[in-house]
Structure 1
Amino acid sequence: MSASYRNMRRWRFPVTMVVATCCILYHYGAFTRIPGIGSISIKNFLGTMRFTTDPMDPVFVLILCHGKRVGIANEPTTRQIQQTMVMMKSATTLTARRLRYYIIVDSDEIQNELLNEMLDWPTDYRNKITLIFIPVWYPEGRTEMINLGSVCVIERLFISEIIKEESAVIYVDTDTLFMRPPEDLWDVFWKFTPTQVAAMSPCLFHYGTSKKSKTPFFGKTGLNAGLIMMNLTRMREFPGGGFIEANNKAFNKYRNDIALADQDILNIVFSQYPDHLYELGCEWNYRPWQCRLGKNTCPETSVTGASLVHGNTRAFVSGTEPKLQILYDCWKSHEMGSSLTEFYTNLTDTLHLVMLGDCKTQCCKLHAIDTVLTQQLRTYLQNKNLLKK
């Protein structure tokens, strides 16, 4: 990583202004406010700038890294970028608000590739989003912690210090798809009690069942770290010196037992401070393991559908879960601005064809799996009078 890159400023791109050369066009602040959290300002080369945005507009954090680590294969960056674009496409297609994405990267290449991909979006959709690129950052003296898991995964633990100009954000893995407006998730912040600093969905797998699980965990089945709602102001005021310090203490105590990197650390912390976590419904982080065990471990989705589908374990691209891959491929090929009703019809028809074929996975066999994957979109279209009830 070059010195110039390590020292780069936080560059903000209004996507409507991106040009083919991907040059830097603007450097400005765009901040959100949650009741009881306060306002933010930033210093930049133009002086102090303050911007007011709608407090209802969602703010997301993504992490994309090339990474170089001895003994561990590099993450296929092309797949990460593709997944990021498809995830943002699903969110932008369904939202009625403006979306802001903080994207933590470890190279200029990723930044430029994302901006190039964005050039193909219609102007109306580019108008809905702002991209804010930030270089990776780690606290000093945490080398052993940093080397846990895949490249950059531990970065999630440091977001409260990396993004100091925001009071609340939602971290989301790149291999996710929104099946309902992302603002429905953002609005959950208003359900937090005064002590709750974060929201995560139950893991429903691994914790309490796997021999590899040796660390304390939250609740009955632990938490999955693929989606984390963060009240950053409260995280900075977390008991014992702030949230990062709480994570450090958890790592120091259980370092020899940690199997799932930052996810284990988060489970340890919230097992110690359960009142500080708001437990999201499993519909907001529906993963292959919810349907791989011969039953739907998130049963409410069999009726109401999954709100966010998380294709971890490469389920969107590996061919191991045809139903989930069809969902991803349909979003990937969807032309923004074209009929969402036709998209829904094509999706449901394609999912049905898989059932007529030779799909033998547990997820394919799951009763109502098509409802799990499509009902939230159906409800959205019905509420818009774009589909008959």
Structure 2
Amino acid sequence: MRYSLAGMRSCCHTSGASLLRISHQGRKPGEQKHPKEPSSLQCMHLAVVACGDRLEETLIMLKSAVLFSNRRLCFHIFAEDSLKPEFERKLKEWPSSYTKKFESTIYPITFSVGNAQEWKKLFKPCAAQRLFLPVILKDVDSLLYVDTDVLFLRPIDDIWHVLKEFNSTQLAAMAPEHEIPKIGWYSRFARHPYYGTTGVNSGVMLMNLTRIRSTQFKNSIIPGGLTWEEMLYPLYQKYKNYITWGDQDLLNIIFYFNPECLYVFPCQWNYRPDHCMYGSNCRGAEEEGVSILHGNRGVYHDDKQPTFKALYEVIRDFPFEDNLFQSLYYPLQSKFLDTVHTLCGRIPQVFLKQIEKTMKKVYENRVIVYLGANHRY
């Protein structure tokens, strides 16, 4: 199938300035800067959707976020009704030294347009909920969405800073689906439009919701632009017989027609088994280490990729108040010795580099806080 943008007018523009301060690369003379982020938005917003058996995965993801973050976090947890009591109970069990670093809100699964049952069954249970975040979270300016099978190996603060790198048209950021087109899924099998040469993976997605809500998007449905909410269900109806990966495919279609709206961040911010199971192909991770681990394909729960499983288990089993090096880093090193027979296990430095750097910073910050609290003038 071939698709053309010929004759389509550019619609990816915002009718109002984002609340988030953005530093524009290549700003034209006289181009207005966005206003500074007000104090009420100092919280870093993290959204996740959990259905079925994803309770533990989600809690371990949130734990990894809290362990290393510097600024306060606001969790937006979208979950089935049956999971809500467990989320509330488990989060309250965390020590106060960590619970004071975040606030959490649990939302029901809701879809504002179209058939709710269709949306709920799209690809993974409830995954399509992420498409409706701009509609539901009307008071949130920007957020980071992640899948439940994600682990943070460095502070969320660092990827949050990417929002400041958006230019005046960009409103979302994702990593490529693959680094090598000839072995990428979209470049070989997709029957629908997709972004760039390999498509993008939506498991880690930064979103400027203010811009998304105020943008008219180009599309293949009508000649003019549509708002985000207006576009979702007609787009799904048109392509539902051609998509394999559900909401991720719909996002690829949207940004195929609106490429100027997307910022692409490098693979170390969404590192998956595909980046090492066929040989190492994420240069950014080789140079800087993995920043965000994405254990898709269920690798935390089987023995196909023991390196990914080791990271998950060590963070899961880490007691909050223990020493990070003694109870997290050293056990991880030990577990990695048992994975050297695998392609991913042959490059342990890729997995260890960033988390070691992060833990050193956490330790240094705690020492500074301790000395500051006990210093007398």
TM-score band by shorter chain is: 0.7 to 0.9
Which residue of 2 is the match for residue 323 of structure 1?
307
Structure 1 counterpart of 2:345, from 350, 358, 364: 364
Shift of 1:349: 2.4
Pair 188,64 (structure 1): closer, same or farther in 2 beyond 3 Å = same
Which residue of 2 is the match for residue 25 of structure 1?
none
Which residue of 1 is the match for residue 87 of structure 2?
114
Pair 314,130 (structure 1): closer, same or farther in 2 beyond 3 Å = same
Which residue of 2 is the match for residue 309 of structure 1?
293
* Corresponding letter in the other structure for 2:321: G
CA contact (8 A) 1:37 1:233 kept: no
Whole-Å separation in 1 of the counterparts to 2:350 and 2:194: 27
How many residues of Structure 1 are paired with residues of Structure 2 in the alignment? 321
Pair 124,54 (structure 1): closer, same or farther in 2 beyond 3 Å = farther
Instruction: Kindly provide the CA deviation profile for residues 66-111 of structure 1, in whole angstroms up to 9, marking residues without a partner as x.
Output: xxxxxxxxx3x2xx1111111111111111111110111220x311
Which residue of 2 is the match for residue 341 of structure 1?
325
Structure richer in helix, relative to its length: 2
CA contact (8 A) 1:103 1:134 kept: yes
Q: Which runs of 5+ in 1 are unaligned?
A: 1-31, 40-51, 66-74
Shift of 1:353: 3.5
Where in structure 2 are the equivalents of 1:17-166 lying within 5 Å? 34-35=20-21, 36=34, 53=39, 55-65=41-51, 75=52, 77=53, 80-107=54-81, 109-142=82-115, 144-166=118-140
Whole-Å separation in 1 of the counterparts to 2:113 and 2:177: 31
Shift of 1:37: 7.3
Q: Which runs of 5+ in 2 are unaligned?
A: 1-17, 22-33, 179-183, 217-224, 365-377
Return the TM-score normalized by structure 1.
0.77
CA contact (8 A) 2:174 2:265 kept: yes
Secondary structure of the equivalent of 2:196?
A: coil
Pair 37,161 (structure 1): closer, same or farther in 2 beyond 3 Å = farther
* Corresponding letter in the other structure for 1:277: L
Shift of 1:33: 5.4
* Corresponding letter in the other structure for 1:364: G
CA contact (8 A) 1:137 1:155 kept: yes
Secondary structure of the equivalent of 1:362?
A: coil
Whole-Å separation in 2 of the counterparts to 1:37 and 1:308: 29
Whole-Å separation in 1 of the counterparts to 2:254 and 2:309: 34
Whole-Å separation in 1 of the counterparts to 2:194 and 2:251: 8
Instruction: Kindly provide the CA deviation profile for residues 333-369 of structure 1, in whole angstroms up to 9, marking residues without a partner as x.
Output: 11112111222122122212432xxx4x43234xx2x
Residues 1:272 and 2:233 aligned together: no
Pair 110,179 (structure 1): closer, same or farther in 2 beyond 3 Å = same
Instruction: Kindly provide the CA deviation profile for residues 190-248 of structure 1, in whole angstroms up to 9, marking residues without a partner as x.
Output: 11111111011110031112x3x211111111111111111111111221232233333
CA contact (8 A) 1:167 1:233 kept: yes
CA contact (8 A) 1:56 1:186 kept: no
Secondary structure of the equivalent of 2:201?
A: strand
CA contact (8 A) 2:19 2:210 kept: no
Shift of 1:113: 0.4
Return the TM-score normalized by structure 2.
0.80
The structure showing larger relative contact order (alpha-carbon pairs under 8 Å, at least 6 residues apart) is: 2
Secondary structure of the equivalent of 2:185?
A: coil
* Corresponding letter in the other structure for 2:257: Q
CA contact (8 A) 1:101 1:129 kept: yes
Structure 1 counterpart of 2:238, from 242, 253, 258: 253
**Identical pairs, percent:** 30
- 252-261 or 172-181, larger mean C-alpha shift: 252-261
Whole-Å separation in 1 of the counterparts to 2:141 and 2:113: 24
Give every structure 1 segment of 4 or more consecutive aligned residues whose post-TM-superposition deviation is greater than 6 Å. Answer: none
Shift of 1:250: 3.0
Whole-Å separation in 2 of the counterparts to 1:148 and 1:81: 19
CA contact (8 A) 2:194 2:249 kept: yes
